[in-house]
Amino acid sequence: METLKDQLNARVTAYDHWATRRRYGADGHNNCRLWVLACMDERLPVDEALGIHVDTPAGGGDAHCFRNAGGIVTDDAIRSAMLTCNFFGTKEIVIVQHTQCGMLSANAADMERMLQEKGIDTNALTLDPTLPELKLDKGNFAKWIGMMDDVDESCMKTVEIFRNHPLIPKDVVVSGWVWEVETRRLRAPTRDMEKRARTDVTAAQFGVKLKQPARWR
């Protein structure tokens, strides 16, 4: 018969492993062996969208979660994905972008001009003061901002980049999804206009007339 003492010993042991799991490398993986890249927008509830528990009471934690403006590829997103996939046991990457995204709301070239009008020299910036070698080539600041023309296209291209990046192991499963803010529904990214008709997914729907500076090659 299992006693309460046995149950408590098992619970304490499990908690101790959870609290110190980063010491165990790949054997200290999160519950779902999962890394999530999501937009930082407060209207994108990662747990609800994916049916997981990222921020949980002690003893939980289904995934590592990285959020930035747009849920797009950046050097720091690649850095974080590289670490979790190669050293912390992660076997799956899920990308979540969303409709009504603020990254559709303006043209990046216009945003750069606004910063320049504030006296900021966008051609002479150190992006990371701790790594001054990391610089943008002249004329690339607007691309770096990462504004979008189309959420579905952005999501599909982000998936492609992670699947083909040399720092991400080939056996890592990568998928991308779009959260519909209007309907609170998750769907796969698509070019089917009928499936996208009920939501705002393009910069043109925000009144942006010009294409964004080309970020994707």
Q: DSSP assignment, residue 103?
A: G
Residues 178, 186: Cα–Cα separation, whole Å = 6
* Contact (Cβ atoms closer than 8 angstroms) between residue 71 and residue 37: yes
Smallest Cα–Cα separation from 123: which of 112, 133, 108, 111? 112
Higher pLDDT, 29 or 60: 29
Q: Which phi and psi angles does 50 have, rounded to 5°?
A: -100, -10
Any idea which architecture 29-107+147-206 has in CATH?
Answer: 3-Layer(aba) Sandwich (3.40)
Residue 17's pLDDT is 87
Residue 217's pLDDT is 57
Smallest Cα–Cα separation from 148: which of 197, 202, 67? 202
Give CA separation, 56 vs 30, 47, 75, in Å. Answer: 12, 10, 28
Residues 17, 5: Cα–Cα separation, whole Å = 18
Which percentage of the chain shows pLDDT scores above 70? Answer: 98
pLDDT (tens digit per residue) in 127-185: 888 988 888 889 999 999 999 999 999 999 999 999 999 999 999 999 999 999 999 99
pLDDT > 90? residue 5 = yes
Query: In which region does residue 162 sit, left (phi positive, over 0), alpha (psi from -120 to 50) or beta (all else)?
Result: alpha
Smallest Cα–Cα separation from 151: which of 77, 192, 101? 101
State which H helix or E strand residue 37 sits in. strand 34-39
pTM to 2 decimal places: 0.92
Which percentage of the chain shows pLDDT scores above 90? Answer: 82
Give CA separation, 57 vs 51, 98, 132, 170, 187, in Å. Answer: 16, 27, 38, 33, 28
pLDDT (tens digit per residue) in 183-201: 999 999 999 999 998 899 9
**Which residues partner with 37 through β-bridges?**
66, 95
